[in-house]
Amino acid sequence: MGVDGFEATAVAGELPSAAEAEIRDSWRRSWRSGVRPDLPLERLDAVDVDQRSRLLRAALPVLDQVAAELGETAYFTVLADSAARIVHRGRISSRTADILDDTGVVLGRRFTEDTTGTNAIATPFELRRGVAVRGGEHFARSLRGYSCYGYPIVHPATRRLEGVLDLAGPAGGENPLFGPFLRQAVRQIESALLADSRDSERRLLDAFNRAVARRGERAVLALGGDGVVLANQQALDHFDALDHERLRELAHGPRWDGKSREVVFETAHGMRLRLTLEPVGGHGNVLIRFTPAYRSHPVVPRRQATAGDVLDRELARYRAARLATFIAGEAGTGRTRTAHSLASGTGAEVVTVGGHEPVEGSTWLHRVRSAAASGALVVVEGVELLDDTVVQALGECVAQGIWTAITGPPVDRLGPRHRHLAFRCPGRLELPPLRERRADIPALARAMLAEATNGSARFTPAALACLAELDWPGNLRELDHVVRRVAAKRSTGDIVAGDLPREYRGAPAKARLTPWERSEHDAILAALERNQGNKTRAAEDLGISRGTLYNRIRVLRIRV
């Protein structure tokens, strides 16, 4: 069912007619994300709660005070963290705890609109503002016995969403004073968070500045437990937002005992880095240091041969024997350059004749034979454009031992006579397309940039990783064009991924996506561009919740 199915369900009486527009919109988002009112909350996983978290440290004194003031009522609090997972259920009786367990409101369960539908945790989490959800306005039927007020907790310094505080009780017992009461409790939690983080942030900043100033430690990243990220330019060149999220999971995950350690980390661009992680004054603060990839000089006993190495060896053999050579490849793979390099170092002249030139009588072949008689290398370009008669005569030249280099498309794309000519050549080279020699792309791009800028600019590893992931249908010619475009904009210093033309930044992992994922990737990018990068409007445009959009951006590694 689509949106029409949602409207039918709402009209049938699932959604109270008096529900406000924000509740109706929330139901629509929930329906579009695949949630249905009758789905049990027990289908969702519940994870362990960190009882020592910064949020709980700041909130527990406030929640105890709230519980004391609510002592004569049936209302209680439910606290969710920055991932919308329930981390505390207030000071409740064992009977209330049993009821909450039966309805699926358990510790560690994630309450977002795309998992539980409209409620006073998921909807404030989605909208980033306070929301009241009364009885039947809850999307999940199991929650309709409650009336709730939910309000987001935002860190006063970082403006990061730290969690949601929900004031819940039996449906029908609503009180208009509960809204202001809840907001006051949230302000107290936010003030406690700020006081807790100020000293922590100062220690993290001091440690970051010392590490940056220290000789030899050029790439430094600091992750604060409250979401603060500090990085110098060298670190920014290596990491993007996806890496920050994975680094935070690494630094704050359960496997780390909080002591300094070294780890090997692979970035979203495929770079492997050895990182040193060092805790800074508790509170989840971590200082990360590493040697920039372009300053590393690892010792590799045996280098794996690249396509360029194999090509150079074959060229040297054909050059020494002055063999007639057929050079096949897609347009832009360097056929002409390869043909001319056959004569490199021999002192032989290179005479080029093209298949696009008019062939009048024996004039064309006479040029070939005259050039060969002088000891020159004869380069015949675009053999696929020659008619069968000329191809046959050219084959006779090859048989006579005339030193020729003939270029054309891949052999399997040639007609019968042209293919026969290719096989008559004792030397044959098949130039692979650039997408099949990704390992060579960084070196090729660096060489092209050095030529374009006289060595005054360089690509950062992240920029080279972006280039190496692309398909390059125009092969070397297209790569050279892009490098020259970049060099025209920035002729000195470091060239980062953001300096590449927009269409060449894309998603570095797109080359590894399935056709279905590529279509989804392109649809999300198009929606983001239509909505000037606004994710909320892009999600509405696509008919999905914002949480689902964030998840797909992360999974598909979309750079925004």
Q: Which residue among 391, 408, 434 closes a domain? A: 434
174-185 b/e (C-beta count within 10 Å ≥ 16 → b): beeebbeebeeb
Please indicate, yes or no, whether residues 397 and 446 belong to a single structural domain of this protein.
Answer: no
Please indicate, yes or no, whether residues 42 and 155 belong to a single structural domain of this protein.
Answer: yes
Segment 457-470 mean pLDDT: 81
Residue numbers of the domain that contains 420? 307-434
Q: What is the mean pLDDT of the chain?
A: 81
Of 152, 119, 121, 123, nearest in space to 134 by CA: 119
Q: Is 365 helix (H, G, I), strand (E, B) or coil?
A: helix
Q: Check which CATH number belongs to the domain holding 371 and give it.
A: 3.40.50.300
Identity of the amino acid at 68: A
- The pLDDT-based confidence of 367 (bands split at 50, 70, 90) is confident
In a domain, 342, yes or no: yes
In a domain, 209, yes or no: no
pTM over 0.75? The answer is no
Please indicate, yes or no, whether residues 388 and 450 belong to a single structural domain of this protein.
Answer: no
Please indicate, yes or no, whether residues 166 and 231 belong to a single structural domain of this protein.
Answer: no
Q: Check which CATH number belongs to the domain holding 537 and give it.
A: 1.10.10.60
Segment 249-254 mean pLDDT: 64
Please indicate, yes or no, whether residues 417 and 467 belong to a single structural domain of this protein.
Answer: no
Q: Check which CATH number belongs to the domain holding 260 and give it.
A: 3.30.450.20
pLDDT in tens, 52-76: 788 998 999 999 999 998 887 889 9
- The pLDDT-based confidence of 4 (bands split at 50, 70, 90) is low
pLDDT in tens, 389-400: 888 888 888 888
Please indicate, yes or no, whether residues 358 and 457 belong to a single structural domain of this protein.
Answer: no
Please indicate, yes or no, whether residues 429 and 443 belong to a single structural domain of this protein.
Answer: no
Q: Is it the case that residue 465 has pLDDT exceeding 60?
A: yes
Segment 187-216 mean pLDDT: 80
In a domain, 389, yes or no: yes
In a domain, 337, yes or no: yes
Segment 496-508 mean pLDDT: 74
Q: Is it the case that residue 89 has pLDDT exceeding 90?
A: yes
Q: Which residue among 399, 434, 469 closes a domain? A: 434
Q: Is it the case that residue 358 has pLDDT exceeding 80?
A: no
In a domain, 532, yes or no: yes
Q: Is it the case that residue 3 has pLDDT exceeding 70?
A: no
Please indicate, yes or no, whether residues 132 and 278 belong to a single structural domain of this protein.
Answer: no
Q: Check which CATH number belongs to the domain holding 493 and give it.
A: 1.10.8.60
In a domain, 409, yes or no: yes
Please indicate, yes or no, whether residues 443 and 416 belong to a single structural domain of this protein.
Answer: no
Segment 330-334 mean pLDDT: 88
Q: Is it the case that residue 193 has pLDDT exceeding 60?
A: yes
Please indicate, yes or no, whether residues 396 and 518 belong to a single structural domain of this protein.
Answer: no
- The pLDDT-based confidence of 228 (bands split at 50, 70, 90) is low
Q: How many domains does the chain have?
A: 5
- Helix (H) / strand (E) element for 165: namely strand 161-170
In a domain, 205, yes or no: no
Residue of 58 and 271 predicted with greater confidence: 58
Q: Is it the case that residue 167 has pLDDT exceeding 90?
A: yes
Q: How far, in Å, CA of 461 to CA of 467, rounded?
A: 10
The 286-290 sheet, strands edge to edge? 229-231, 219-223, 286-290, 272-279, 261-266
Please indicate, yes or no, whether residues 344 and 380 belong to a single structural domain of this protein.
Answer: yes
pLDDT in tens, 375-416: 888 888 888 888 888 888 888 888 888 888 889 999 888 888
In a domain, 207, yes or no: no
